[in-house]
Every structure is written in structure tokens, then in C-alpha cells.
Structure 1
Amino acid sequence: MQSDIQVRDSRTVGARNFRALWAGVAVTNLADGVVKLTLPLVAVSMTDSPALVAGITLANTLPWLLFALPAGVLADRIDRLRLIKMMTGARALVLAVLAGGVLADRLSLAGLYAGALLLGTAEVFADTTRMSVVPMVVPRGRMESAFAKLTATETVANEFIGPPLGGLLAAAGLAAALGAGGVGYAAALLVLAIMTGHYRGGRRPGSAPGAVSLRADISAGIRYVWRERVLRTLLLVAGAASACWAAWMAVIVVHAVTPGPLGLSRSEYGLLIGALGVGGVLGASAAPALTRRLGRQVVLATSMACFALLLAAPAISSSPWLIAVTTLLGGAGSGAWNVTYSSLRALVVPDEMMGRYSGVSRLASWGSMPLGALVAGLTAELISVRAVFWGGAALCVLVLAVTMRTVTSAEFRQVEARASASPEPEPAQP
């Protein structure tokens, strides 16, 4: 079986296209950081119900559960770059409508939910497809370095610069913050226009996109993931962690912003969330060296332990400084996990399966987020906000213990060796 990277349009592989993709990731995630901090603040200005505020996270992440698999199939059927551009433009339009509604004082909570749902849907298709584009512009030998750069940039923009900027803009006006996010997506669209070449996913000889049903393509992606034992286990772990992450994000604004226990202002809340970005950059930057020195299993396990600390801190303390430190550690764990896992996936998964694998991956790892947000909202409403943090920390510790006993360092080394030995790796046998 021939690797698609050898036969696709040669203009896609190169420094210029990677730099444009890299810049697009930076601008898009800067807008993401502003918007994802602003949406809950808009909700808090409309209601004091923790469940209704958590509903924004639920609406924004629900599309990962609904559309991740179709998005992966679509990424393998059409030009991937064109799909990313369409979804980026759609996000700019949605934010223009939301900003206008806030400015005119005509935006309802239901309208805010609808906007969050549309933004999340566009994100599903854009982000799933973008992960499939990376191996098309980066040579195999530079894959881990490329993912480290992209992850660090994504973290800086989405979690370090974006939230504090969003907090400052929100302090000036919620409409201004939403409008700034829309401008960011429009700018990302211009940056992506620099990329050259065709970005259709590779398919096996004799296979035409129209000849295979949507259900068959989705089934093929699920079967592939199920046969890859190590990747399958990591996806289940990521799903549990993402549910906990969404639960934390859904209610931390209620816990942190005045009149919550931390008593933070909007701008101070932005700085707190920005600590995630600081840690994420440190974790993503250190991940390649740590993986070489300690192995993937140790790096991934340590990442999960840091994430458990992030969740536990607000359950046991109302100190903004302690929570800021553990937030930084949680961000470091997230950054290291993303680079370590993404680079392994890029080495193992063949290009013809990359879109569908990304869809299954995102369904498992991000599709759990609306469930986490839903449980968080109900738990906070019926019991307490702190109960959400306790539950998330306990689940992370349990998942960490099970993973350490399930996947060994030797299995990681076997997967890496198999990936290095084949130009287009085949899935492991069950």
C-alpha cells in the first residue's frame, strides 16, 4: 500500500504552507480564547443559575458529540483546506450577529445558546479537518516538532493571550469582546488564503468518495481505532479527562467571578484562565524532550496527575493564588499530553484514514465535554459547585490508576517501532 504523502500534490509539503497553517492556528485560537471566555460572561450577565450558565458550555461542546464522526468522513472526501476556510468564515458571521444582538440589547439566553451551538459546530468541522492537514504539509521526520509548535501556539493564543484579552474587552463591553472574536476569525481566513496546493485526503486505489456510504466510512474509522489498542486506550483516557475539563470550565466562572468565593473581576478571571496558557506552553515545549528521556507512558501519566490537581484545588481552597498555580500545572499537563499523543497519532495513522481517525478521536476525547458540562450544571444546581470539582478529581485519579496498569512502556515502544519501520503504518492486530 502506497503512502499518500508520496503521490499528493507536491506543493502542499513545504515551509510556506506550514507557516501559513501555523499562523492560521495562532489567529484562530486567539479568537477562540476571547470568545470562549466571553460567552459564559454574557450568560452570567443574564442569569445567576449555575445550570443555565453551564448550559453555554453544553451548547458549545455538544456538536463534538453530534458531528465529530461525519466531520472526519467529510475531511477524507473533500478538499480539507476549503472546508476549514468555510467553517472559519461561518464563525465570523455568527459572532457578528451575536455582537449586534448584545449591542442592541436584543440577545436572549436562547439566542446565546443557539450562537454557542453554531460556533461549536463550525469548530468541530474546522478543527477535525485541520488535524488531517498537518501531515500533508510536514515531512514525517519533523512531525513531533511541528505538533509541539502548533500545540504551544494554540495554547498561548487560546489560553494565555486570548482569555486575558477577552477579560479586558469584556470589561469594556461584551459586544466589543464578541466583535473582536469575529474579526479574529476573518483575519485567520485571510492568512489561510496564502496556502497553495490541493488538500484532498488520499483514498485507496479504485476507491471513489461517492462509492462508499457515510455509514461505511464511519464504521471503517471506528474499526481502525478499535484495532489500535494503545490509541484506543488513550482515546478513552482523553474522553474522561475532557469530560472533567468541561465540567471545570462550565462552573469555574460561577466559583471565581464576584459574587463567587474567589471574588474576582472579569479581567482577573481572564488572567486566571490565562494561567492555563502559561502552563500549556511550558508543557508543550518540554514534551518532545521529556518523551525522549522518560518515555510516552511517564509523560502521559504525569500529565493526567497535573490535571487532577487542577480539578481538586477549588474543591479544597478559595485561595486565588493556589488555584492559579494548580491551573498552571493543569495547563502544563494538557500541553504535554496533546503533543505526546498527537505526534504518536500522526506517526501511526495513514493519511487515507486520518480524517476519519480524527473524527473518532474528537468524538471520544471532545464528545464527552457536553456530558461533563451537563453533569456539572446539574451537580452545581442540586448539590454545590465544589462537588463538581471533587467528582472530577476523583475520576481523573481513577483513570490514571487504570491506565498505568493497562498500557505499558513496552507497548508504546512497539507502536513507535512499527511506525518507524513502515512508510504508511498498518493497524495493530487485536
Structure 2
Amino acid sequence: MTNTARGPAFLILFATLMATAGTGISLVAFPWLALQHHNSASDASIVAAAMTLPLVLSTLVAGTAVDFFGRRRVSLVSDSLSGTAVAAVPLLASWVGADAINVAELAVLAFFSATFDPAGTTARQSMLPEAAARARWSLDRTNSVYEAILNLAYIVGPGIGGLMIAAVGGINTMWVTAGCFGLSFLAIGALRLDGTGAPHRATRPEGLISGVAEGMRFVWRLRVLRTLGLIDLVVTALYLPMESVLFPKYFSDHHQPQQLGWALAALGVGGVVGALGYAVLANRTRRRTAVLTATLAFGAASVGIAFLPPLPVILVLCGVTGLVYGPIQPIYNYMMQTRAPHHLRGRVVGVMTGLMYAAGPLGLLVAGPLADAAGLRITFLALAVPILVVGLIACGLPSLRELDRAPDFAEDSTP
């Protein structure tokens, strides 16, 4: 196999690593800059919320944009706009002074940075089948490596952000973030791959709203995608508050910020290993078995964490949680790629990803007040037990048997 054949896959994976690492740095740097003004957690929360609010709508819109303008073009535009939004922070600081930047300005720039990111992610993910075919890699292998790189970037990005903030300050760290998006832009700019250009006029969505609606109808009508999307929505709504609210609260109460970092790192490392492991096991394991095992084990590990055992046990359970759930997204990707026709792929990816993003705020709205009223352990259990119940219900769902049915659109690659 020549490097030329594998080149497109490597370029997409490298661009994914750079752009996602840039996003990871932003997740640390924007709230940090907000804290520098009045050391106010409320200010940091405002900026963090500005980075999450646009994700659902922008992901849905991104899927339609990918199918209308083309995968490569949308990725390039996304990287350039995301890079511009973060580079505007040091540019603004040089103009008005670092101390003169207020929280509202940071929130606006954080909002736009987050708004453009999903388009690039959707575009790159939509190019994977063509890149896999060119490299003669199986879709399972390609999706596993892709998801492992995403998980790795979300570990490395915030770590780099923290180091750079300590070394050069929060303002200058944004230049590093912009540089990551720039490297992603260059990689996709060098990409030459059939099927990633502008679609034929006859296959383009007629308009924004109709395009989003068409993607939603396709996902809803296809039982297996509808079921996977709903499972992902419920599990994400239940689990995200644990990671975003309950873990920070628990370790904050114990004055152990470093241990919080270890727990989140264990989740990330487990996710990387789980995603890569699926590439090895894909030919030996049924997809339905993998999904059910992952959901049940994920629920069981979450229940174990809910009892708030000693730190070593929490770290092991966090690692197990990431490990068993690592194969889930590669399987979801495979189903979208082999069930959706080429001209609908971007919209289907956008809808499925949008469901996941939509779930987060639902759980967060419940978790905080419940933790204040009933305590951490009860709140952990209230969120963890339903995940286990979802896994048990999934065992009896006939639609998941379609996970192992022959694909509607065969992959043009060999393992």
C-alpha cells in the first residue's frame, strides 16, 4: 500500500487531531480568561455556557451545509472561522489592553468559536468512508482510529492549554489555539479525494430548514438509527452531569482538584484504548453484542462510582467506563456511513450528533438542584441507575438486531 493511497486518511486524521486539540485548549483558556477579571465563577460559567449553547443548532445546520457546499470546503471554512474567532482575543487585547476585555466580549468570541467547530467535525467525519476506501482500510478500523484521536485530542488539548497559560498567559495561549486550527486548515487544503467536493446540484438540499428536516426524517424512519440516537440522548443526558457537575463538586468538597484531573484523564485514556481496541475486535464481535455490553457495563460502572468509593476505585471505574464505551461511537459512525446515501450523509451525521448535544443541558438542569437538595450520592444513583435500566431495555429491542445486518451502502474498502 503506497503512502499516496493512505495520504488522504492521514490528512483527515491529522486535521481532526489539530482542530479538536484547538477546541480543547479553548475549553480551558476562555473560562480562565474570564476568571482573571474578578475571580468570579459566575463569569467563567457565562463564558462556558456561551461555548455550549450554539452546539445543537450549529451541528444540525452544519450537516445541511456539508451536503450543500461539499465536505472539503466546509471543513476549510470552519477552520478559518474558528481560528479567526480565537485569534481575535489577543488582537483585541493588543488594541484595548488585556485588562480592558470584558466578560461579554469573551463570551461573544467563545460563542462564535464554538459555533463554527461542529461544521468542521461533521465535514471531516463525512469524508472518512472515501478516505478508508482509498487507503483500503475497513470502516471499523478507520472509525476506531478516528474516535481514538478525538478522545486523545480532548486529553491533550486541555493539558496543553494549562501548560501554555502557565508559560505565556491566557491571552497568548489563544495564538496556539489559532495555530492548531491553521494546521488543520493546511492539512485539508492539501487533501485531494473523490467525493469531498461540491455535490451535484440535483442531490443538494433545497434549503436550510428543508435540509435539516430531511435528515431528521431519515434518522427517524430508520429504526436502528432512531434507536441508537435515543439511547445516546438518554445516556448522555444522564452521564454528562456526573462529569461536568458531580465530579467537580465531589473533589471540590474534598479540596482535591488534582484528583479531579486524574479521574477525567482516566475516562479519556479508557476511551482511547476502547476505541482502538474495537479496531482489533471488530471482526470477532457482533456490533449488537458490543453495544449491549458497553451500555450495561457503562451503567454498572456508573452505579459503582455513585457509591463514592476510595479514589483508587473511582479511577479504576472511570477507566472501565471509558474503555467499555470506547467502541460505541465507531459503531454509530459505521451505521450512519452504511445506512445513509452519500448525498444525505452530512445531514444524518448532523442530526445524530445534535441529539447528543441536545441531551447535555437537559441533565445539567436537573443535576445541580438535585445535588443541592438531596446530596451527591443520591444524585449519582439517580443518574447512574437509569443508565443500567437503559442497557437492560436495549437487550430486548428488535431494532438493534439490524446492527449486524448487511449494510445498505457497502463499504468500498477491505480490511
TM-score bracket, normalised by the shorter chain, equals 0.7 to 0.9
Aligned-residue offset at 1:147? 0.9
How many angstroms apart in 1 are the aligned matches of 2:160 and 2:338?
36
User: Percent identity, aligned pairs only?
Assistant: 23
Letter in 2 for 1:114: V
**Pair 1:142 & 2:138 matched:** yes
**Bigger CA drift: 273-282 or 299-308?**
299-308
Aligned-residue offset at 1:299? 1.3
Q: Among residues 110, 113, 119, which one is paired with 1:116 in the alignment? A: 110
**Pair 1:189 & 2:193 matched:** no
How many angstroms apart in 2 are the aligned matches of 1:373 and 1:39?
20
1:59 equivalent in structure 2? 50
Aligned-residue offset at 1:76? 0.5
Aligned-residue offset at 1:135? 2.0
How many angstroms apart in 1 are the aligned matches of 2:89 and 2:246?
23
**2:75, 2:119 within 8 Å by CA — same for their partners in 1?**
yes
Aligned-residue offset at 1:201? 5.7
How many angstroms apart in 1 are the aligned matches of 2:382 and 2:89?
34
How many angstroms apart in 1 are the aligned matches of 2:31 and 2:245?
9
Taking structure 1 as reference, are residues 333 and 47 closer, same or farther at Cα in structure 2, changes over 3 Å only?
Answer: farther
Aligned-residue offset at 1:312? 4.4
TM-score calculated relative to the size of structure 1: 0.81
Q: Among residues 265, 276, 282, which one is paired with 1:274 in the alignment? A: 265
1:197-238 CA distance string (max 9 Å, x none): 5623645xx72647x233332222122112211111001111
2:63 equivalent in structure 1? 72
1:331 equivalent in structure 2? 322
**1:231, 1:345 within 8 Å by CA — same for their partners in 2?**
yes
1:258-337 equivalence runs, <5 A: 259-261=252-254, 263-265=256-258, 269-308=260-299, 311-312=302-303, 315-317=306-308, 319-337=310-328
1:293 partner SS: coil
Taking structure 1 as reference, are residues 94 and 352 closer, same or farther at Cα in structure 2, changes over 3 Å only?
Answer: same
How many angstroms apart in 1 are the aligned matches of 2:253 and 2:31?
14
**Pair 1:27 & 2:18 matched:** yes
Aligned-residue offset at 1:99? 5.2
1:207 equivalent in structure 2? 202
1:105 partner SS: helix
**Bigger CA drift: 217-226 or 133-142?**
133-142
1:368 partner SS: helix
Taking structure 1 as reference, are residues 299 and 44 closer, same or farther at Cα in structure 2, changes over 3 Å only?
Answer: farther
2:164 equivalent in structure 1? 169
Q: Structure 2, unaligned stretches of length 5 or more?
A: none
Aligned-residue offset at 1:419? 3.2
2:357 equivalent in structure 1? 366
Number of equivalences: 401
Aligned-residue offset at 1:118? 1.8
Taking structure 1 as reference, are residues 248 and 423 closer, same or farther at Cα in structure 2, changes over 3 Å only?
Answer: closer
2:387 equivalent in structure 1? 396
1:36 equivalent in structure 2? 27
1:297-332 CA distance string (max 9 Å, x none): 221123223443564465432744333222222222
**1:288, 1:340 within 8 Å by CA — same for their partners in 2?**
no
Taking structure 1 as reference, are residues 24 and 262 closer, same or farther at Cα in structure 2, changes over 3 Å only?
Answer: same
How many angstroms apart in 1 are the aligned matches of 2:211 and 2:362?
26
Aligned-residue offset at 1:23? 0.9
Letter in 1 for 2:330: V
Q: Structure 1, unaligned stretches of length 5 or more?
A: 1-12, 425-430
Taking structure 1 as reference, are residues 17 and 411 closer, same or farther at Cα in structure 2, changes over 3 Å only?
Answer: closer
Aligned-residue offset at 1:423? 7.2
1:33-67 CA distance string (max 9 Å, x none): 33324445556665665x77555554323223223
How many angstroms apart in 1 are the aligned matches of 2:17 and 2:227?
30
Aligned-residue offset at 1:418? 4.2
How many angstroms apart in 2 are the aligned matches of 1:166 and 1:119?
16
TM-score calculated relative to the size of structure 2: 0.83
